[in-house]
Amino acid sequence: MKKTISLFVFLFSMQLMTAQFENLFTATGDANTYLSHYTEPVINGFLYSTSSGWFTSAKALKPFHFQLNISAAGSIVPDDETYFTFDPSEYQYTTLASGPNTLPTVLGGTSSSVLHIDVPVGNNEHLVTDVDALDGTDLKNEFDLPFNMVPSPNIQLSMGLPFGTAVSVRYLPKIENSGASINQIGVGVQHSISQYIPAKTDENGKQNKRHFNMAVAAAFNHITIDYDDDPTDQYYLTSGLNTVTVEALASLDYRFISFYGGVGITQGDGNIDVKGSMDVSYDVYDDNGVYLRTENKTITDPLQLKYDISGIKTKMGVQLNLFVLKIFADYTIQKYPVVNVGLGFKI
């Protein structure tokens, strides 16, 4: 199968994985353990990047005013999560036949290691196969990037409502690329706290323009991904990713520039499932290691992987206010730091 770099690193990782992993499922439980380690950094990175960039000021939009934001976020995956150590105690039927026990994740490099699978099936027979450990994409070196980064583009429309409240919607229509499809929908709500604090007044009793603003905000995001690069296969990959973020925001808002920041929590969960039927070929040996025959078997719904993230985050950012145009950038400190940049158009 031709490996295509898609818009998302996540989709590219699925193309690579689907091309190589079928024989791992001679031992289905062990395959799930191995692929969970292999995919975890890119899935967690995707969860962190899609949960970011919702709010770029604590100042409330005026009622029934709109702002359209187009942004790109990238979560930075630590270098030590581009590989994992093969631990034999985690596997029932799989051992390391040769090569180093440090194996790449999807963001890692190449591997020379070989996995040996030996499943006893009774009658003094064993299902036996050897599988090359999966290579990573090595995108950091492939594209000369400073970090291992998992990107996420976002399109977001916000509308001001009465009582210092604004609602935001993210929507990414279904995008298809080489058998992969992705779509996104999310909603966020921001409510001003500053409105409950009286502004200072001048000598004439007129309220001064407020520069320091505070708000609370929350957002939910959902992404669905499907992948089937070969219509002749009887299986396909499907995935769902959900994130929730809650933040306390503060900003200094001036005519041409705003400085903003916030603290909050992020939680997320995701899954990767392979549905349908997968044909696996393996050799049958007796207890003495004598080859008997080659057989095929069909496995139904072979892959069910689960992921979750949670933690505290701190955000700092700056926004240029050029009349109807906003240019913003921020950095979020958390387990996987996130850089977010974009443009906003105020209507």
Residue type at 263 in one-letter notation: V
How many Cα neighbours within 13 Å face the side chain of 146? 3
Alpha carbon distance 96, 119 (integer Å): 14
CA distances from 44 to 34, 40, 49, 281 (A): 16, 6, 9, 32
Question: What local confidence, expressed as pLDDT, does residue 189 receive?
Answer: 98
Q: What type of residue is 36? A: S
Q: Domain coordinates of the chain in residue numbers?
A: 9-346
For the chain, give me the number of helices (H) and strands (E)?
3, 16
d(CA 237, CA 242): 17
Residue 141's alpha-carbon distances to 46, 111, 337, in angstroms, are: 20, 15, 20
pLDDT at 9: 45
List the pLDDT tens digit at each of the 347 positions of the chain: 333 334 444 444 454 454 456 778 888 999 999 999 999 999 999 999 999 999 999 998 999 999 999 999 999 999 999 999 999 999 999 999 999 999 999 889 999 999 999 999 888 999 998 999 998 888 788 778 788 888 888 899 999 999 999 999 998 888 887 777 888 999 999 999 999 988 776 666 566 778 899 999 999 999 998 887 777 778 888 899 999 999 999 999 999 999 999 999 999 999 999 899 888 888 999 999 999 999 888 889 988 999 999 999 999 999 999 989 999 999 999 999 999 999 999 98
The rounded radius of gyration (Å) of the Cα atoms in the chain is 25
Which tokens go with 302? 């072979």
What pLDDT, on a 0 to 100 scale, did the predictor assign at position 181? 84
User: Of 318, 324, 238, whose CA–CA distance to 56 is shortest?
Assistant: 318
Residue 175 CA to residue 195 CA, distance in Å, equals 41
The pLDDT value given to residue 65? 95
Confidence (pLDDT) at 21: 65
Smallest Cα–Cα separation from 35: which of 7, 13, 6, 11?
A: 13
Q: Residue 3's pLDDT is what?
A: 35
DSSP label at residue 146: S
pLDDT computed for residue 18 by the predictor: 47
Copy the structure tokens of residue 277. Answer: 């039927």
Phi, then psi, of 80 in degrees rounded to 5? -75, 0
pLDDT of 25 reads 85
CB distance 77 to 346 below 8 Å: no
Tell me the C-alpha distance between 94 and 73, whole Å: 38
Whole-number pLDDT of residue 1: 30
